[in-house]
């Protein structure tokens, strides 16, 4: 019977989950997003995302997988850029602030 029911969406990220995600991604930012010859392999990045998942899930409303965390991170970055755009009011490209400064509501 459960197979016939429509798929329910997961709960929204709560504040604690978001804080842990931001803290952990910024802690491992160099490893996850570095470019150039010294960048990490896909396997190393996958292990780091798994580590982050293990840190987020204890405070999570529902179990999160790595893809959920990556999507949330992309959404946070997009929202941060959007806030910057509104704050600068189109006065040229703003200087990139440290991520997390503008993530507060």
Q: What is the pLDDT of residues 13-22, one digit of tens each?
A: 999 999 999 9
Say if pTM beats, i.e. exceeds, 0.85: no
Span 57-70, average pLDDT: 96
Q: Would you say residue 30 lies in a domain?
A: yes
Q: Specify if 8 maps to a domain.
A: no
Phi, psi of 96 (to 5 degrees): -70, 120
Identify whether 5 is part of a domain: no
Inside any domain, residue 92: no
**Is 3 part of any domain?**
no
Q: What is the pLDDT of residue 31?
A: 93
At 39, phi and psi to the nearest 5? -75, 160
Through-space distance between the first and last CA atoms of the chain, rounded to whole angstroms? 41
Q: Does residue 20 lie in a domain region?
A: yes
Do 69 and 76 touch, CB atoms closer than 8 A? no
Which tens digit of pLDDT belongs to each residue from 69-100? 999 999 999 998 887 777 776 555 555 555 55
Q: Is 6 a member of any domain?
A: no
pLDDT over 80 at 105, yes or no: no
How many structural domains is the chain composed of? 1
In angstroms, the CA 74 to CA 84 distance is 15
C-alpha distances (whole Å) from 63 to each of 12, 32, 67 are 11, 22, 12
The boundaries of the domain holding residue 64 are 15-87
Q: What is the pLDDT of residue 97?
A: 56
């Amino acid at each position: 019977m459960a197979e016939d029911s429509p798929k329910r969406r997961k709960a929204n990220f709560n504040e604690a989950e978001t804080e842990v995600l931001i803290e952990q991604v910024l802690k491992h930012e160099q490893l996850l997003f570095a470019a150039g010859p010294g960048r990490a392999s896909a396997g190393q990045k996958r292990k780091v995302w798994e580590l982050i998942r293990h840190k987020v899930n204890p405070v999570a409303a529902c179990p999160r997988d790595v893809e959920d965390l990556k999507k949330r991170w992309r959404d946070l970055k997009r929202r941060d850029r959007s806030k910057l755009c509104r704050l600068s009011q189109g006065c040229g490209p703003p200087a990139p602030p440290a991520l997390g400064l503008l993530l507060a509501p």
